[in-house]
Structure 1
């Protein structure tokens, strides 16, 4: 999972010189602030990235802790 999602397609807001918004949900980038959950719930980008995040989480190996003696421990 990425800490910030800034690779979504953007479009310029016509009324402002340096303002942009998500091409899909039309929410300004200053409100999205790089967070996936700040896109609209029906935003195509959010839905697509959410599926990748779920798939990535399901493919990660589960790390288990074993109570085995470690080499650097002193007896």
Structure 2
């Protein structure tokens, strides 16, 4: 598994799946190749869920890289 390149741009958005037992899915996706960089699933959106996907994504970065993260700017990303 290679690190994320310096020029990468990523997106993140919360999505709900299922009808009866809905789950909230929060991925971070590389816009260059559409690969999932990190992902978390929860019963509902929470700050620990967002912290989890961000920490997983940070762990994959090469030293000195500065990727851009585009999000829906929901409350989870404003802290």
Structure number having the greater strand percentage: 2
* TM-score of the aligned structures, taking structure 1 as reference length: 0.28
Question: Which structure would you say has the larger Rg?
Answer: 1
Name which structure has the greater RCO, CA cutoff 8 Å, separation 6+. Answer: 2
